[in-house]
Structure 1
């Protein structure tokens, strides 16, 4: 039955299929561009006002789009929040992680992670400084899918710090007796304090203080302090 149907079908007009594919690809591309624009604006708003400050109506108004068009991309406020977290994570990785991974393994890569984070917050990549500092505080005591997504993002960041420190220990650049998780906790604390003070007090010098504190801590852990720079 299927073979008979196949042989009796007329040959398709290939040019029409090509036109349909081009039209389809164009629509998909425009749809993806619209989605990216929505999420970029959503992440900037959330970095200032939190994820609860997001609404499909507000984003539609700010971007000059229809509410139904924005809704079609997400379907609910929670899905919008989750997509915003993922988009913010991608921007963070591009700004901080990817450049740092180009540095040689060991202390230089660890320093690059610290410096990259400070540059990301100082620039800032998001309108309100570190996106995750803003929204983690908003959701850290609120169980649910958004909190879970934020926890995964933070766990991955902390895990990268720990792995980088352990790699430096494997190269003999950091004392093997140093607790990698404790050192991670301390370096991360300097970063978080810098972001808080710089925003709350409008004091960019906080980033310099954090940089000084991190380098002093790394020198104390390094087998050769000169490697820290």
Structure 2
């Protein structure tokens, strides 16, 4: 059983890397078995179909993202500090290529946004969770009096997500890492404009 779990973990780690660069459609049980030098029947037994492999890859990528971005941010207290760390952590996650193709979910969303089905639903759910996490952090900051009471949380969340997404897209396509600095400045400028206490925002 332990060997089987190790095989599954190795397959998913390799699958995440492929999918972030080539897309989820680039995955196949045969390819993963060959590249990892394990039996095709062994990989099939753990996933059953290409779609189940793709869904498991999305779930595994989601866990990697949470570990890299969300959990560290939640070490900060609720409010502006946590909201800032979520955004800054996302930029670091993309910049440091936790996934070799940049943000896994940006790539998967572009691949599946117009293709109804279970895979699109899984990718959409992961992105919805991210937006909800940002929104909760922003709402906490407003409730704590660190953001203006008139702050439109939905609008702010959209703008913050758009800034970090744009940095990832520009870096991946153009190899321009200065986009992360531009996004970081944009996020900070937006938060400072709404902050009631600018000292609540970490340097």
1:161 partnered with 2:134: yes
| Distance (Å, rounded) in 2 between the aligned partners of 1:227 and 1:170 | 14
Q: Which residue of 1 aligns with 2:101?
A: 128
Q: Which residue of 1 aligns with 2:74?
A: 101
1:67 partnered with 2:27: no
Deviation at 1:152, TM superposition (A): 0.9
Instruction: Describe the SS at the equivalent of 1:195.
Output: helix
1:87 partnered with 2:65: no
Unaligned runs of 5+ in 1: 1-27
Q: Which residue of 1 aligns with 2:174?
A: 201
1:133-189 per-position Cα deviation (integer Å, ceiling 9, x unaligned): 101110011100001111111111100111110000011000110110100000000
Q: Which residue of 1 aligns with 2:28?
A: 55
Q: Which residue of 2 aligns with 1:226?
A: 199
| Distance (Å, rounded) in 2 between the aligned partners of 1:202 and 1:152 | 29
Instruction: Describe the SS at the equivalent of 2:3.
Output: helix
| Distance (Å, rounded) in 2 between the aligned partners of 1:31 and 1:187 | 41
Instruction: Describe the SS at the equivalent of 1:182.
Output: helix
Deviation at 1:33, TM superposition (A): 1.1
Higher Cα Rg, which structure = 1
| Distance (Å, rounded) in 1 between the aligned partners of 2:120 and 2:173 | 24
Q: How many residues align?
A: 202
Deviation at 1:221, TM superposition (A): 1.0
2:7 aligns with one of 14, 31, 34 = 34
| Distance (Å, rounded) in 1 between the aligned partners of 2:149 and 2:111 | 37
Instruction: Describe the SS at the equivalent of 1:188.
Output: helix
Moved over 6 A (4+): none
Q: Which residue of 2 aligns with 1:18?
A: none
| Distance (Å, rounded) in 2 between the aligned partners of 1:51 and 1:157 | 20
**Higher RCO (Cα < 8 Å, 6 or more apart):** 2
Q: Which residue of 2 aligns with 1:12?
A: none
1:113 partnered with 2:100: no
Normalization by structure 1: what TM-score? 0.87
Q: Which residue of 2 aligns with 1:145?
A: 118
Unaligned runs of 5+ in 2: none
| Distance (Å, rounded) in 2 between the aligned partners of 1:75 and 1:84 | 13
| Distance (Å, rounded) in 2 between the aligned partners of 1:200 and 1:152 | 25
| Distance (Å, rounded) in 2 between the aligned partners of 1:159 and 1:99 | 17
1:176 aligns with one of 136, 142, 149 = 149
